[in-house]
Amino acid sequence: MSQIHYALDFIQRWDRRVCVRLNRALRFSALLHSFRAVSWLGDGIFWYSLLLALLLQYGRGAALAVLHMALVGIVCTLTYKAVKRSTLRPRPYEVLSVIARGAPPLDAFSFPSGHTLHAVAFTLVASAYYPWLAPLLVPFTLLVAARGSCSACTTPATCWRAP
């Protein structure tokens, strides 16, 4: 076996261990409900609210930032759909029987995570225009990424536990 195969095998084993551990953490009701809320907000509500808040607070002064975020959102969606069609990575709950799924996935495969892709992109753009937003947006983005890994819908390298 080549070094690349050993490296990929190592990453895959680590990925599975982390996903199982994160998924098990959701047996705690408060954490489960918190991640469900983050997932719901990450569906777009948080970002649409941010765009609206910026427009309400800064008016035309926020127009360029809002337009930039909207265009980045379109590019992310197109990229996400293109990559999703060309990768066929099953969701962790489909290949690991010890992982429980607590919410239906939005589509068939786990990679890439559209929630995480958009959260990272929007955080970078919004923070470039309004650096004071970074302390709010970075933790939310990390929660969005962790939500995917805990819910069994995506994995750390790319998961919801039933109550």
What is the spatial distance between Cα 39 and Cα 22, in angstroms, rounded to a whole number?
15
pTM of the model: 0.70
Low-confidence ranges of the chain (pLDDT < 50): 150-163
What is the spatial distance between Cα 21 and Cα 18, in angstroms, rounded to a whole number?
5
pLDDT attached to residue 88: 65
Q: How far is CA 55 from the centre of its chain?
A: 25
pLDDT attached to residue 58: 95
Per-residue pLDDT tens over the stretch 11-26:
777 777 777 777 777 6
Phi/psi zone of residue 109: left (φ > 0), alpha (ψ -120 to 50 degrees), beta?
A: beta
**Domain boundaries along the sequence of the chain:** 3-150
Percent of the chain with pLDDT over 70: 71
